[in-house]
Chain A
Amino acid sequence: MGDQHLDTRQLGELSVQSQDLNSDAVRITREVLGEFAQEQQEQRGARGRRTGLLAGLVGAGTLWGIGRAAAASSSDDVKALQTAASIENLAVSVYTTAAGLSFIKDGNATVAAFIKMTTAQHTAHAQAFNAAITQAGGATQSAADPKYAAVVKAALPDIKAPADVVKLAITLEDVAAQTYTKYVGLVTDASLRKLFGSVAPVEAQHRAVLLAVQALLSGGGGDLIAIPTQPAELPAAAGSVGFPTAFYPTTSASPISEGAVS
């Protein structure tokens, strides 16, 4: 891969700029997690009050039913968070491995910078999901999603060029984006909806960039993968290949049990 059109100084500045923005985003997520923690405390308090109030009115069997229903929804939320964390853990692992491949670290500097930044972003996502799990009283997830870990393992022998890494990364980013988009509507807690809703678009953005990179690589335009790019030299398809659908699909979303801690 060539490194024409690459302004490394500007790329460095952009990375610093992005890290500053990233700090803002992390602050936002801390706020979301704070809201989640508060809601969890309120729910526990309400559950306790409800238990005390109802104890004198209804039988223990009904109480058990109420408690079980509340615990079930909370339990599903935790499973969703654990599966999300497992997907992030896998992404971090794949990108970290990719960064060490000779054709990546000695190849296109923009691709290498993208992998570095994307690894950091997935790390932040995993931390956010695990922090939410902790807030909910669940077990944090440090393992990789088993289904897609197997997909990665099967793909590894065939990874011999940047295009192979990009193809695998597109798969993982799409699964992450679809899964979180789906989870926005599945989780019971509003602050968790916001958390999943704030991560899904970022994974979709990773995918958009990778789709554009894939198109350029397959068309022999690897030297156009640069920041800043040369818009006038890009093929027309580069302007639209990054966002193939008007509505983000969820048909390939992972079930909440997929990466749950057993």
Chain B
Amino acid sequence: MNRAKDWELPISEAELTGLTRELDEAHRETIPSMFARAKDFSEELADTTTDTDTDTDTGTGVRPHSVGRRGFLVGVGGAGLGLALAACSSSSTSAGSGAVPGAASGSASASAGSVYTGDLKVVALATALENQAIAAYTAALAAASAGKLGSVPAAVGTFAQTAMSQHSDHAKAWNGVLSSVGVPTISGVPLAGQPQVLSALGAVTDVGGVAKLALQLENQAAQTYLFAAANVTSAGGIATAASIAPVEAMHAAILLFVLGEYPVPDSFLGTSLAASTSTLTV
């Protein structure tokens, strides 16, 4: 990363190292509990897979036989959740918090007979969104290293690397759920809007442009997790989504600060920018 010339570190290296160590320790402490939640979620899904058959009425492919088992009930999940997510408008509230291009278009691109049904569809969407963020930050860091973004402040470089690492942890957690129930993990970005995101990323020429695009991705992820937490009825799924949404929102707050905007503009997180499962292409 190119750093601004004549920049002086306002805190000592020792203080900086201490801060970084504290961050890393705090991060490591949350990982085991998080993966325990994801494991619970996997068990719930596995239980349901065993106990279900195809529900031709809803097209979800899942009909819970025992709604009492660990509180799992697809309910508004599956097709219902997909329709509800698709119904989320993509209206923008500010220039810095608009919708990701094409991400919530509502176009039905998910293939019929997909292995990702019911709550698994939401898991697949979450994994794809995390991979999208990882890909965007990876591309941005590569562009910065190649000098294509001009001078890149050190704080922005650290932000991108740390946020990317956390998105990677999120993706691993979601992929762990997918693999544990015997469906393929998702390593790419199977989203209908991905070409537009790549195009937008390729067009940016400075750090501000990258930050705005990253802000859209973070806002979309946070709002998607809020919608998922409210509509997925698996206890493990709710807890997992609920624990990730605040982190994506924190990323957004720091990005807003770097962009010169007020970092906490809303009193309540909305869902108008939530991604739709209908944009999944797998």
| Chain A residues with CB below 8 A from B26, complex form | 244-245
A236 to B258, CA, bound (A): 12
B10 touches A219 (CB 8 A): yes
Q: What is the CB-to-nearest-CB distance from B55 to chain A, in angstroms, rounded to a whole number?
A: 20
Q: Which of B8-44 contact A (CB under 8 A)?
A: 9-12, 15-16, 19-20, 22-23, 26-27, 29-31, 33-34
- B35 to nearest A CB, angstroms? 9
Chain B residues whose CB sits within 8 angstroms of the CB of A29 once the complex forms: 267-268
Residue B106 CB within 8 A of the other chain: no
C-alpha spacing A217/B76, complex, angstroms:
47
A121 to B29, CA, bound (A): 30
User: Is there contact, CB below 8 Å, between B257 and A28?
Assistant: no
Within 8 A of B (CB), among A216-237: 216, 218-221, 224, 227-229, 231-237
Q: A204-B249, A205-B253 are in contact. Are A246 and B16 (CB under 8 A)?
A: no
Chain B residues whose C-beta falls within 8 Å of the C-beta of A207 in the assembled complex: 250
Does A251 have its Cβ within 8 Å of any Cβ on chain B?
yes
Query: Given A197-B230, A215-B19 in contact, is the A243-B250 Cβ separation under 8 Å?
Result: yes
Contact digits for B115-144, partner A, Cβ 8 Å, 1 yes 0 no: 000000000000000000000000000000
The verdict on B192 contacting chain A, using a C-beta distance below 8 Å, is no
| Residues of chain A with a CB closer than 8 A to B252's CB | 205
Is the Cβ of A244 less than 8 Å from the Cβ of B27?
yes
B20 near A237: Cβ-Cβ < 8 Å: yes
**Contact of B9 with A184 in the complex, beta carbons under 8 Å:** no
Determine the chain A residues whose CB is within 8 A of the CB of B230 once the complex forms: 190-191, 193-194, 197
With most chain B CB atoms within 10 A of its CB, the pick from A128, A191, A233, A239 is A239
**Helix, strand, loop or mixed for chain B's interface?**
helix
Q: How far is the CA of A46 from the CA of B126 in the complex (A)?
A: 35
Report yes or no: B249 in contact with A25, Cβ–Cβ below 8 A.
no
Would you call A185 and B267 a contact (CB within 8 A)?
no
Q: Given contacts A232-B4, A242-B253, A244-B27, are A202 and B267 in contact (CB under 8 A)?
A: yes
Tell me which of A22, A121, A236, A248 has the highest count of chain B C-beta atoms within 10 A of its own C-beta: A236
Closest to B169 in A: A246
Q: Are the CB atoms of A231 and B156 closer together than 8 Å?
A: yes
Interface string of A95-135 (1 = CB under 8 A from B): 00000000000000000000001101100110010000000
Residue of A nearest to B233 (CB): A190
Query: Which of B30, B34, B268 has most chain A Cβ within 10 Å?
Result: B268
In the bound assembly, the distance between CA atoms of A218 and B161 in angstroms comes to: 23
Taking beta carbons and an 8 Å cutoff, which residues of B are in contact with A? Answer: 4, 7, 9-12, 15-16, 19-20, 22-23, 26-27, 29-31, 33-34, 76, 93-94, 151, 153-163, 165-166, 169-170, 173, 207, 222, 225-226, 229-231, 235, 238-239, 242-254, 257-272
Distance between A3 CB and nearest chain B CB, rounded to angstroms:
16
Counted as pairs of residues, one from A and one from B, with CB atoms less than 8 Å apart, the total is: 258
Say whether, besides A117-B264, A197-B245, A237 and B166 are in contact (CB < 8 Å).
no
Residues of A within 8 A of B272 (CB): 28
Contacts of A22 in B (CB 8 A): 265-267
Please determine whether A198 and B235 come into contact, CB atoms closer than 8 angstroms.
no
A17→B262 contact, CB < 8 A: yes
Contact A243:B247 (CB < 8 A) given known A199-B268, A209-B264, A237-B19: yes
**Closest CB-CB distance, A40 to chain B, in whole Å?**
16
Question: Which residue from B16, B151, B162, B207 sits with its C-beta under 8 Å from A243?
Answer: B162
Q: How far is the CA of A30 from the CA of B100 in the complex (A)?
A: 26
Question: B34 contacts which of A18, A128, A246 (Cβ < 8 Å)?
Answer: A246
Among candidates A206, A234, A247, residue contacting B244 with C-beta atoms closer than 8 Å: A247
User: Shortest CB–CB separation between residue B14 and chain A, in angstroms?
Assistant: 11
Confirm or deny: A177 has a beta carbon within 8 angstroms of a beta carbon on chain B.
yes
The answer to whether B242 touches A26, judged by C-beta atoms less than 8 angstroms apart, is: no
User: Once the chains bind, are A202 and B266 in contact (CB under 8 Å)?
Assistant: yes
Instruction: Report Cα–Cα, A89/B245, bound state, in Å.
Output: 24
Which residues of B are found within 8 Å of A199, using beta-carbon distances?
Answer: 268-269
Q: Are B33 and A201 in contact (CB under 8 A)?
A: no
**Which A residues touch B268, using CB under 8 A?**
25-26, 28-29, 124-125, 128, 198-199, 202
Residue interface bits A149-193, CB-to-B below 8 A is 1, else 0: 000000000000000000000000000010001001100001101
Give the interface centre of A14, A197, A209 by most chain B CB atoms within 10 Å.
Answer: A197
Q: Look across to chain A and name the residue whose beta carbon is closest to the beta carbon of B239.
A: A185
Given contacts A231-B207, A239-B160, list 11 more A-B pairs with CB under 8 A: A177-B246, A194-B229, A200-B245, A201-B245, A231-B153, A233-B4, A233-B153, A236-B16, A237-B11, A239-B156, A245-B27
In the complex the two chains form, is B257's CB within 8 Å of A227's CB? yes
B254 and A239: CB pair below 8 A? yes
A56 to B216, CA, bound (A): 57
